[in-house]
Chains A and B, each alone.
Chain A
Amino acid sequence: MTINTNLYFKELKRYRKFFLAWSISISVLIVMELAFYHIFMKEEMVKMMATFFENPFMKNMMTAFGTSLDVLTNALGYYATRNAIYIILLGPFFSIMLAGKILAREEHEKTAEFLLSKPITRLEIVWSKLAAFLTYLLLLSVMLLLAGSIGLEIFKGESVYRRSAFFVHSFYFFLLMLTFGAIGLFLSLLIKRGRPITNISIGIVFGGYLIDVLSKATQSASKFGYISPFKFVDSGILRPDYGLEWWRVLYFLGISLVLITLTFFIYKKKDILI
């Protein structure tokens, strides 16, 4: 394993704006949503909505999204439910898109001809780009962690929550994003001439999310949900025994490891067509 620092820092610079735009947007959305929790509790909107939530259809809907009124009224439960849209969808979007272009773009924009004429091996290229991707993934995770904890502390009000549950939940999201990154990296190599995979990426993230939602809503489809990585994020954040479960961690790490290994293997042998 060798990282070419010249390439690594160039990649960091190249995707700096992409990273900043996404990470700041998601962080701001998280804090804003938590501010809304504050209003939600303070104005007693919950009570006004209680009857509405009692309606069987709404109850089912809420189960599908992995929540209930009890969960929503807790700051952390609210965070895990409402912010899900931002972290659970935008996080993987960021990840799959960045990973999907970090390697393939050189081929698509034909700069691979420049890069590959320099003294650097194919494996060093993948290592360096993977390192740049992981750097931004870690930075994003840290930012989300900060935005979440700061937002929770400011707006929690009377609500009590376990901080460790928040960290475990955040770690699952990190693993989820890592998995989608690995999927993006792998898929981008299967496309000829490195054409962008943005549409496919959106489809995969949305598709995976919908499968998870549907599998939670209907008993018959619950097994079907396991084809989606989202299924492996434990959303029962208010359970007293909520913690890291090894099989979930293993699932994410396993898939990522397999796909990244395949990426190395394919890129080492691939004809780069300009």
Chain B
Amino acid sequence: MYVIETQGLTKFYGKDRGIIDLDLKIETGEIFGFIGPNGAGKSTTIRTLLGLIFPTSGSGRIFGMDIVRETKEIKKQIGYMPSEVNYYEKMDGQELLRYSANFYGKDCESRINELADIFSLDLNRKIIDLSRGNRKKISILQCLIHRPRLLILDEPTTGLDPLMQAKFFDILREENSRDTTIFFSSHTLSEVQKMCRRVGIIKEGKIIAVEDIESLRKKQLRKVQVEFAYPVKSGEIECTGVIASQAVENNLHFMFSGKMGDLLNNLAGKDIKDLIIEEPTLEEIFMHYYSEEKEHNKKS
């Protein structure tokens, strides 16, 4: 049984596209990254899973329960962290967290205090008086205190400073080690790279790829930067596998997905001052994905 499973999940807002034909399968204990640019449909997916909005067609199950009909049972097991924190402004942190905990009928006092200590959060201040980062911390606590089996995090790190981000990730890893499944939505790939084993890429409402982070890296895509002794043009190197070549004076930047030996043979006869070959960031890999997708669409 999958923790999250959707089949053809589709949501339209009137005529506006939300998500189209989404098929997702997320396993127990997995940290799943959900990546896409703003407006791609990440939040729509999450809100449909949580029952804030209803699917136009298709279906979804969480822990084997239907996301529309059994939403209350599902939510007993879920911790949700929204991208924008909107809480009852007149409550203080303590009040909000107790209010939250009461919905689960659990006593979460010790966990609240423990986490408040970790994040050095003052729980006696009213939500309205808190900075964005501190509100975000309240949101973290709110989603963790009742020990959920599934965490749904929508852009969880926006507004958190790097130190807090690191603490947050430590806690997520700790939760994950107790078999808590994590659905991690983000447009920042580097943070997903740190946390996730598998990622789904969503674009314009559709899932365009679900990949293992490792296999993505092993796609042998390399980022190459060559400095020549003379000014060059972007077509300087003629070798299969050179992508998105760009020349700036003596420098040539490109992505390379071909055989490394061919590239080196090609370079060997030229007057080269410097050569850097590195692993591209996930961002660059995805940019590559996106551009390939576009070209593919153009051709078809």
**Which residues of A are interface residues toward B (Cβ below 8 A)?**
4, 6, 10, 14, 109-114, 116-121, 124, 269, 271-274
Contacts and interface: CB of A to CB of B under 8 A. Distances in A.
A95 B285 CA distance: 58
Interface stretch (B29-37, B71-79, B248-256, B291-299): B71-79
Contact of A118 (B53, B75, B87, B89): B75
B246 interface: no
Contacts of A116: 50-52
B84 interface: yes
Interface string B44-55: 000100111110
A15 to B, nearest CB: 11
B147 to A, nearest CB: 14
A120 B53 contact: no
9 contacts: A113-B47, A114-B142, A116-B50, A116-B51, A117-B78, A271-B53, A272-B53, A273-B53, A274-B47
A99 B71 CA distance: 26
Most buried by B among A119, A121, A269: A119
The 3 closest A-B pairs by CB, nearest first: A110-B86, A118-B103, A117-B80
B53 A121 contact: no
A6 B52 contact: no
B82 A113 contact: yes
Chain B contact patch, size range: 20 to 34
Contacts of B103: 4, 6, 118-120
A10 B86 contact: no
A274 B75 contact: no
A110 B83 CA distance: 12
Contact of B99 (A10, A110, A112): A10
B102 interface: yes
Contacts of A121: 71-72
Contacts of B28: none
A44 to B, nearest CB: 52
Given A112-B52, A271-B54, A119 B84 contact: no
A116 B87 CA distance: 12
Contacts of A14: 88, 90
A274 B86 contact: yes
Q: Which of B73, B84, B88, B100 has most A Cβ within 10 Å? A: B88
A269 B54 contact: yes
Interface in B136-153: 142
B104 interface: yes
A274 B104 contact: no
Interface in B89-103: 89-90, 99-100, 102-103
